[in-house]
Structure 1
Amino acid sequence: MFKRADRPLRPSALPDDPLKPVHVMTATSDAETGSTLASEPKGIGTVLTILFAFACGALAANLYYAQPLVALIGRDTGLAVSLESLIVTAAQAGYAIGLILLVPLGDIFENRKLILATMVLNLFSLAGLALLPGLFALFSMTLLVGITSVGAQMIVPLAASLAPAHKRGEIVGNVMTGLLGGILLARPVASFLAEHVGWRGVFGVSGLVVALILATGYFIIPSRQPRTGKGYRELIGSLGHLFVSEPVLRRRGLYHAAMFASFSMFWTAAPVILFREPFAFSPGEVALFTLAGVFGVVAAPVAGRLADRGHTHVGTMVAICLAIAAFVLAWFGQTTFWPLLLAGIVIDLGVQANLVLGQREIYQLDESIRNRLNAVYMTTFFLGGAIGSALASPLLETFGWTAVCLVGAGLPASALAYFLLVEREG
């Protein structure tokens, strides 16, 4: 009989030196995939956790650097104003492609080599974006940056696999703190750097950061070799089956799709009204406003610890209610700044907490398919975020800020209704 991979480990199984690579070998059979992992998690040290968090943040930030820079990039490259937003679209489209086509490879290829190879490609694409002239290079390199930034979504499942079951939520929460911090800091950091080194310099600096992480990771990221009988086509084809056959994965993906849609709607529409009267903010002041979201990173480790203590049910309700409350606050922010600022903090707290709670739940399903579980989960709510961003401008321009707040609150409210309908406290 094989041992269950989620059984808590003895203290003696943890590594003495957090810098020393841990070669993970599990012994879990997987009836759905016909695969076997030959290892049992040996733990994850503090240094490796910090590296994973930093790497996830640096890679995820690549998707958001262009958002405050599209006008500057457009002027420099001769891109029509009406097409400038396609720069961001290219990065997001690339990320979606990577989630579907690359992240599942973590279930069949050795994880360390896959992560490092993806980061090498990310480094080259960032260099191309910083150095190569012309619109074709701009869009092709931006697309490739998005595709290869999914290395972050290979790291999170690896961290979950290395962590003992009784600390899995805490470890995932800590790693996700770095990823979310990268997302939330990307916009203000890009605005600040662009004033000093130009928009190309922003991606050059990002490349230097990725290179540093790559060099460090080469020595301390542990090996993890999954064993599966699936080929690549069968692997990708199984993604849709997982969404249908795994109710926990499906529910958590849909909850967070609604949450992330409201999140994207808020952060797309709020800067627009700040540029207008009565606020008339400058781009720099709007960049400072976006820093409000940084407070949301504290929710990730707290949510992870709550999940480890068995409070996922209550935590999910609180997280969703925070998103609803954020838009109630935001409704008072059309002419007053402080409610809008508080709304930015509250919605980030709710969304980041719900993200980690969802990941903690899906990573408990089957460790041998964690990369595919993560790919389906991320793709599901990523599509929700795209819908939220797409709705923000038409709602604001046609019906006004009140409509944005009503729809923004309605999305998580629908998730809460679904949650109360189908979930039972365990």
Structure 2
Amino acid sequence: MKLNRSDVLLMSFCTGLIVANIYYCQPLIILIAKEFNLTESYAGRMTYLTQAGYAIGLFLLVPLGDMFERKKQILIITGIAVLSLLLAGFSHSFFVLQIASVLIGASSIVPQLILPMAANLSTDENRGHTIGIIMSGLLVGILGSRAISGTVGYYLGWRAMFFIAAGLCFLLLFLMFKRFPKSLPTFSGTYRKLMSTMFGYIKSQPVLREASLINFLAFAILSSFWTTMVLFLANPPFNFQSLQIGLFGIAGAAGALAAPMVGKLSDGKDPRKNIIYGLILQIISIAAFYFTGTQLYLFIAGIILIDIGQQAIHVTNQTRIYALIPAARNRLNTIFMSVSFVGASAGSALGLWLWDKGQWPLYCLGAATVIILNICIYRFYSKKFKA
């Protein structure tokens, strides 16, 4: 079966709504801190616990997409997501909420099953474009989720957001059951053998190593920003509430629209050059954040640039790894995205630590240092190959 445009758009829609589960908590940190009488930075632990759960789910569950029929796996894991979101909404202690956060992250890996499914069903010449469209849905979901949760939290309370998300995922179960194609497995061995092959790919595929390492640091930057910006905007001189903070996600969603264009460029002869463009945009965005002061137009411009830069890096790297070994796309994607979200979790923790030590100026200096390190890694691999 080949994908038509409506199939790709449906996958993009489902991907965006499911991945949003990971990010609803970010604008709600202030409200959760007040209810449980916690400091804002301590309540922020939810962000990196959710991302850590996502990394765990990626590593343990996504490889099964090469071993079992993907549609059935997608439906089961989405059902677990519904239960995890309900647990978060009913939590009456921060300890239970932290457990729910890990489970929400682990059960939100469905987009990383949809992407290999779409890659397998796409033609070689359209694969990058297809991935770019689905990534647009994923990234609009990530960034739009902040605006939605900030608004819902302000008017209805933070628990309402988790109940609404559970309802959305429940509806998606029926939609995916009716419309998603079946995708036959490509691996017939045991789970242990399946997992062991991944380490062989790490050793034998230099493109995979480079893409994963660069994505680790790029995701650390993006995640650290979206976690720390909540504290920046909630404190003087802005003193914004969750509603206002969440609306900044709209600016990031504008940057996500660059993903299809990057996907087309990634189908060209030298997609790797897109990565350095993305890193340059990230460093410019951090400069805009550092000099923001009370000028929110610089802050908004920085949000757009950091997300366009992220698309250039991520979509390019994902297209490159999907071209390596078609029969092992789920396992390659597992390595790539697990490393990426370990980076995201580490970035959130780093951002909160930098905030505690020196607030916004120190965060910006720390983020710039990480981007410069990533540029050095890019240059190191440039001497080894062009891919």
Q: What TM-score results when the alignment is normalised by the length of structure 2?
A: 0.91
Cα distance in 1 between the residues matched to 2:238 and 2:89: 34
The corresponding residue for 2:115 is 156
Q: Is contact 2:51–2:342 with CA below 8 Å preserved after alignment? A: no
Map of 2:191 onto structure 1: 232
Aligned to 2:375: 416
Shift of 1:91: 2.1
Whether the 8 Å CA contact 2:48–2:345 is kept in 1: the answer is no
Match of 2:55 in 1: 96
Deviations 1:23-72 (A, max 9, x none): xxxxxxxxxxxxxxxxxxxx211221111111111111111111222343
The Cα of 1:133 is off from its aligned counterpart by 5.3
Q: Which of 10, 20, 24 is matched with 1:61 structurally?
A: 20
CA distance in 2, matches of 1:354, 1:318: 8
1:276–1:219: structure 2 CA closer, same or farther, 3 Å change rule? closer
Aligned position for 2:179: 220
Alignment partner, residue 162 of structure 2: 203
Q: CA deviation at 1:311?
A: 4.0
Q: Is the 8 A contact 1:108 1:228 kept in 2?
A: yes
CA distance in 2, matches of 1:346, 1:80: 33
Distance 1:200 1:281, change over 3 A: closer
Looking at structure 2, the residues matched to 400 and 74 of structure 1 have their Cα atoms a distance apart, in angstroms, of 18
**In 1, distance between residues paired with 2:330 and 2:274?**
24
Which amino acid counterpart does residue 61 of structure 1 have in structure 2?
A
4+ residue runs over 4 A deviation: 78-83, 131-137
| Alpha-carbon shift at residue 281 of structure 1 (Å) | 3.1
> Aligned letter for 1:405?
C
Distance in structure 1 (CA, Å) of the matches to 2:261 and 2:284: 19
What residue in structure 2 maps to residue 406 of structure 1? 365
Q: Identify the residue that residue 37 of structure 1 maps to in structure 2.
A: none
Matched, 1:116 2:72: no
Deviations 1:295-348 (A, max 9, x none): 121121111001113341221221111111111222211343222221111011
- Give the gaps of 5 or more residues in structure 2: none
1:294 aligns with 2:238: no
The aligned counterpart of 2:3 is 44
Distance 1:365 1:145, change over 3 A: same
Task: Give the counterpart of 2:132 among 170, 173, 195.
Answer: 173
Matches of residues 313-328 of structure 1 in structure 2 within 5 Å? 313-328=272-287
Structure-2 change in CA distance of 1:209 and 1:320 (3 Å): same
Aligned residues: 384
Contact 2:52 2:341 in 1 (8 A): no
1:164 to 1:119, Cα distance in 2 relative to 1, 3 A:
same
Counterpart residue type for residue 239 of structure 1: M
Q: 1:123 to 1:420 in 2, by over 3 A?
A: same
Once the two structures are superposed, what CA deviation does each residue of 1:367-424 show, in whole Å capped at 9, x if it has no partner? 1111111111111121222222222233334345443223322322222222223234
1:253 aligns with one of 196, 212, 218 = 212
Question: 1:168–1:250: structure 2 CA closer, same or farther, 3 Å change rule?
Answer: same
Structure 1 position 169, deviation (Å): 0.2
- For the 8 Å contact 1:334–1:401, the answer to whether it is kept is no
- Counterpart secondary structure, 1:102: helix
Distance in 1 between the 2:242 and 2:157 partners?
Answer: 15
TM-score computed with the length of structure 1 as normaliser: 0.84
Secondary structure, in 3 states, of the residue corresponding to 2:293?
Answer: coil
Indicate if the aligned counterparts of 2:289 and 2:364 stay in contact, CA closer than 8 A: yes
Counterpart Cα distance in 2 of 1:202 and 1:68: 11
Report the secondary structure of 2:181's partner residue: coil
Which structure's relative contact order is higher, taking Cα pairs within 8 Å and 6+ residues apart?
2
Q: Which structure has more helix as a fraction of its residues?
A: 2
Give secondary structure in 1 for the equivalent of 2:22. Answer: coil
Q: 199-208 vs 359-368, which deviates more?
A: 199-208
User: Structure 1 residues 119 and 244, CA, compared in 2 at 3 Å: closer, same or farther?
Assistant: same
Name stretches of at least 5 consecutive residues in structure 1 with no aligned partner: 1-21, 23-42
What amino acid sits opposite 2:4 in the alignment?
G
Q: Does 1:126 align with 2:74?
A: no
- In structure 2, give the amino acid aligned to 1:321: I
2:352 matched to 1:396?
no
Tell me how far 1:137 sits from its aligned partner: 4.9
Cα deviation, 1:158-213, whole Å, max 9, x if unaligned, reads 11111111000000000011111111111221121123433222122112221222
1:306 is matched with 265
Task: State which structure, 1 or 2, has the greater radius of gyration over its C-alpha atoms.
Answer: 1
- The answer (yes or no) to whether the contact 2:150–2:244 under 8 Å persists in 1 is no
Aligned residue runs from structure 1 range 11-50, under 5 A: 22=1, 43-50=2-9
User: Are the aligned partners of 2:154 and 2:241 in contact in 1 as well (CA < 8 Å)?
Assistant: no
Q: State the identity as a percent.
A: 33
Q: Distance in 1 between matches of 2:290 and 2:90?
A: 44
Structure 2 CA distance for aligned equivalents of residues 404 and 169 of structure 1:
34
Using the TM superposition, give the Cα deviation of residue 294 of structure 1 relative to its aligned residue in structure 2, in angstroms: 1.1
CA deviation digits over 1:80-106, x for unaligned, max 9?
A: 547533433442232121011100100
Cα offset for 1:231?
0.8
- 1:338 aligns to 2:297 (yes or no): yes
1:84 aligns with 2:43: yes
Q: Could you say if the C-alpha distance between residues 203 and 395 of structure 1 is closer, same or farther in structure 2, counting changes exceeding 3 Å?
A: closer
Using a 3 Å threshold, how does the CA distance of structure 1 residues 189 and 375 change in structure 2: closer, same or farther? same
